[in-house]
């Protein structure tokens, strides 16, 4: 048996704890971890850097090895909290949105069988989901909209809730959200025009605009 000097042993323990903290941050962000998911992370948080520690955390019972996603062939690990959550049935009535570049966003990850219809991972793009279904993609901070619902769908106005958040957020709020096209058509000719106007958008030249209230 090889004994390390106390200082080297402390360094190894501290380094291992640092990796564990990084892994806990990743679990707080994603819930489930696998190689493909971490390909855009910083080098010290990518799969090859944390794989050994993931196994140690599994052996200690802090996390579990699972196979939640059939499209992902390799190992997957899940936190205890996410394991409980993912085993519950998702509320298909819930409506939520993400910035495409958000750490939790699936956009741009190119995961097998899991990126159909998702846009590029850019900070000027937003995606809206209704349960598990992608319902809206907003590009160029809303100038170009792709809506995957009928114009008379009563849920459509709720899909635009992110627009008000862009105007009222504390950090770098927009002065206005301008919509120019929906599904490739000018908004002035779009059957979705009424839904946008119902939440406060007003007509201005060839666009609809929602302004921040000062």
pLDDT in tens, 79-105: 988 888 777 777 788 999 999 998 778
Of 160, 127, 126, give the one whose Cα is nearest residue 140. Answer: 126
Strand 185-186 to 207-211 pairing: unpaired
Q: Could you tell me the pLDDT band of residue 114, with boundaries at 50, 70 and 90? A: low
Residues 6+ apart with CB under 8 A from 135: 95, 128, 129, 147, 148, 149, 155, 159
Task: Please state at what angle helix 6-30 crosses helix 47-59, rounded to 10 degrees.
Answer: 100
The pLDDT of 180-192, averaged and rounded, is 95
Q: Tokens 């509320």 map to which residue?
A: 91
- Are 133 and 121 in contact by the 8 Å Cβ rule? The answer is no
pLDDT in tens, 25-49: 999 888 899 998 888 788 999 999 9
**Residue 152: C-alpha distances to residues 163, 182, 192 (Å):** 20, 14, 8
- Are 173 and 212 in contact by the 8 Å Cβ rule? The answer is yes
Give exposure, 121-142, as e/b (b: 16+ Cβ within 10 Å): beeebbbbbbeeebbbbbbebb
Q: Tokens 């809730």 map to which residue?
A: 161
pLDDT in tens, 6-20: 566 677 788 999 999
């Amino acid at each position: 048996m090889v004994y390390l000097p106390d200082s080297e042993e402390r360094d190894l323990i501290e380094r291992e704890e640092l990796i564990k903290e990084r892994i806990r941050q990743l679990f707080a962000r994603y819930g489930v971890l696998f190689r493909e998911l971490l390909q855009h992370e910083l080098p010290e948080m990518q799969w090859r850097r944390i794989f050994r520690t993931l196994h140690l955390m599994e052996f200690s019972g802090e996390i579990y090895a699972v196979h939640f996603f059939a499209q992902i062939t390799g190992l997957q690990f899940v936190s205890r909290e996410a394991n409980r959550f993912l085993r519950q049935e998702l509320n298909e009535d819930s409506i939520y949105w993400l910035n495409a570049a958000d750490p939790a966003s699936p956009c741009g990850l190119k995961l097998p069988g899991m990126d159909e219809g998702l846009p590029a991972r850019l900070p000027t793009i937003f995606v809206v989901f209704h349960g598990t279904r992608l319902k809206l993609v907003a590009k160029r901070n809303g100038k170009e909209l792709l809506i995957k619902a009928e114009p008379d769908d009563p849920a459509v106005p709720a899909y635009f809730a992110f627009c008000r958040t862009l105007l009222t957020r504390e950090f770098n709020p927009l002065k206005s959200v301008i919509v120019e096209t929906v599904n490739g058509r000018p908004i002035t000719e779009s059957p979705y025009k009424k839904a946008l106007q119902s939440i406060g958008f007003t007509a201005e030249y060839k666009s609809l605009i929602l302004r921040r209230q000062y």
